[in-house]
Structure 1
């Protein structure tokens, strides 16, 4: 008799087991929604899927009477623009700072303690300061994302740079490579796939800071819309928006993983 620890599902069973929890959650929601609506047809806590479809049809396909925009797509575009810019800046800063502090002992001695301290500051505590310094516009939201995730990326890249075998650096210097050449031609190519992994791990935090900033001070965006309609208990908007954010996060993560495999196949083939 096989022990459970040794059982390995084949591909078809793995797919079924993957879908099973989602199917169960969906079934529980449908049953709960039907039960609540049977007692009170005006209940807003668990809308039916017909209510979801009706509300989202208006937001996705019908222009707003006030602005003339398709609210759903405008919110999506605004949030992705902020998130993309924030992650791009954070990844660039994280790569540069992580590379320099990880490869150059003098830079590490000067800035590693500061980087550690910055990484321990709760970014949400800085939000009022950011609004005061940068105003309530787009800049403060992007800066919050950058401050929230770049220290994590920088420390991860720093650690990865320090793990690169010293023999490679010695050989490079033996062949006459100067410090800039070692940084750009030896270390940087090996750190790029690790940078993508670090960005993937920081995406969840990036979404968190984005939603928080939009909820407090914004006129559009996914987070803004969720917190705007909460006062009306509009779960027929909130739940689809939450599901859409989850799907977007999954797609961005999948695209980064796909790009990493295509751009740096050696990184995955080598089991690094």
Structure 2
């Protein structure tokens, strides 16, 4: 009898096993909702699917009487733009500083303690400072994402750079590579797929900081809408928005994973390790 650690599901089984927890949560919700609605048809805590459908149609297909916009799509575009700026800037900072810290000992001695200190600061604690310095506009929201995830990416890429085999670095220098050539031809190709992995791992934190900033000071965005309608106990809007954010995060994670597999197949194969 094969050991449990050696049994691998096929593609269909993996799909079904992945869907099972979601189906169980959905079933529990439907049962709880039906019970509450039977006791009180106007219950707002656990609305039925009909209420969800009406709310989604109102937010996604009917122009707002106030602004004339389709609110779901306007909120989505605003949040995705902020998220894209935050992830892009964080990736650039993480790649540059992570490589410099990992390759150049003098830079590591000066910058590594500073980056470590930054990574330990709770980003939400500096949000009021960001609003004071940058105002309530887009810059403060993007800055919160960058402060929240860039130090973590820097430390991760620095650690990966330090894990590169010493023989590889010595061989490149033996063949005449200077520091710049060593970074471009040896270190950078090794760290680019790890940067994509670091972005995937930081995605949850980026969404958290984005929604927190939007909830405090914004006029549109997914986080802004959720905190706006909470005062009315509008769970028929809040829960679809939460599900939509989850779907967007899953799509971004899937896109980054696909990009890593297509651009760096050697890394995907080594990371999979046959498992």
Same fold (TM over 0.5): yes
**Residues of 1 paired with 2:2 and 2:262: CA distance?**
39
**Residues of 1 paired with 2:68 and 2:76: CA distance?**
16
**Residues of 1 paired with 2:227 and 2:127: CA distance?**
17
TM-score by length of 1: 0.96
Aligned-residue CA RMSD in angstroms? Answer: 1.4
Instruction: Structure 1 unaligned segments of length 5 or more: list them.
Output: none
Cα deviation per residue 1:154-195 (whole Å; 9 max; x = unaligned)? 000000101111122212222221111111111111110000
Where 1:270 maps in the other structure, the secondary structure is: helix
- 1:56 and 2:56 equivalent? yes
TM-score by length of 2: 0.95
What are the within-5 Å matches in structure 2 for residues 177-256 of structure 1? 177-256=177-256
**Residues of 2 paired with 1:262 and 1:18: CA distance?**
23
Cα deviation per residue 1:214-261 (whole Å; 9 max; x = unaligned)? 000000000000000000000000000000000000000000000000
- 1:149 and 2:126 equivalent? no
**Residues of 2 paired with 1:170 and 1:14: CA distance?**
44
Instruction: Structure 2 unaligned segments of length 5 or more: list them.
Output: none
Q: Which residue of 1 aligns with 2:140?
A: 140
**Residues of 2 paired with 1:266 and 1:12: CA distance?**
26
Q: Which residue of 2 aligns with 1:91?
A: 91
Q: CA deviation at 1:6?
A: 5.7
Q: Which residue of 2 aligns with 1:117?
A: 117
Q: CA deviation at 1:4?
A: 5.3
- 1:101 and 2:105 equivalent? no
Q: CA deviation at 1:10?
A: 3.8
**Residues of 2 paired with 1:157 and 1:3: CA distance?**
36
Q: CA deviation at 1:25?
A: 1.5
Where 1:160 maps in the other structure, the secondary structure is: helix
Q: CA deviation at 1:130?
A: 0.2
Q: CA deviation at 1:8?
A: 4.4
Q: Which residue of 1 aligns with 2:14?
A: 14
Q: Which residue of 2 aligns with 1:126?
A: 126
Q: CA deviation at 1:13?
A: 3.2
Alignment: residue pair count: 272
**Residues of 2 paired with 1:16 and 1:158: CA distance?**
38
Cα deviation per residue 1:12-51 (whole Å; 9 max; x = unaligned)? 3333332222222212111211111111111100011001
**Residues of 1 paired with 2:8 and 2:106: CA distance?**
50
- 1:66 and 2:66 equivalent? yes
**Residues of 2 paired with 1:4 and 1:116: CA distance?**
40
**Residues of 2 paired with 1:7 and 1:197: CA distance?**
26
